[in-house]
Amino acid sequence: MNINEALEKLKRSAFRAKFHLSQNDIEYIKSKGLDTIRKHAIDFISKRLAPAIIANDGEQTPMRGHPVFIAQHACACCCRGCLNKWYKVQKGTELTPVQQEKIVNLLMAWIEREYENYAR
């Protein structure tokens, strides 16, 4: 499944479709820039989602506080359970660099679309 297919599928989920960037998120992106947001996404995914064993899996991603957190919930990349359910990523194994990159690219595509829509 490519990014566009994933985003279209996510839009059809009532739960996933309810997530949107807030005004604070938009202002944060404006002040930091999308390159910095991508760096944050890389860091969050590598530390909070990529390890094989996550002590607080299912609770490690806040529902607010950073655009990447919102994107993780909107894109079903918030915990290993959601990754397994939506993308068949196995629990209990460390995410490969390629898997991490795909997740970051999906999150950034969602953030960029939200950011562009908000500007309209």
Q: What is the mean pLDDT of residues 84-104?
A: 96
Sign of CA dihedral 69, 80, 3, 14: negative
Q: What is the mean pLDDT of residues 105-118?
A: 94
Contact 100, 52 (CB under 8 A): no
Q: What is the C-alpha to C-alpha distance for residues 109 and 119, in angstroms, rounded to an integer? A: 15
- pLDDT class for 1, splitting at 50, 70, 90? confident
Q: What is the C-alpha to C-alpha distance for residues 34 and 70, in angstroms, rounded to an integer? A: 15
Read off the pLDDT of residues 3-20 as tens digits, 9 standing for 90 and up.
999 999 999 999 999 999
Q: What is the C-alpha to C-alpha distance for residues 3 and 107, in angstroms, rounded to an integer? A: 9
- The pLDDT > 90 percentage for the chain reads 86
pLDDT score of 58: 79
Model confidence at 120: pLDDT above 80: no
Angle subtended at Cα 51 by Cα 50 and Cα 52, rounded to the nearest 5 degrees: 115
pLDDT score of 24: 95
- pLDDT class for 119, splitting at 50, 70, 90? low
pTM more than 0.85: yes
Read off the pLDDT of residues 45-66 as tens digits, 9 standing for 90 and up.
999 999 999 888 878 899 899 9
pLDDT score of 8: 94
Q: What is the C-alpha to C-alpha distance for residues 105 and 57, in angstroms, rounded to an integer? A: 22
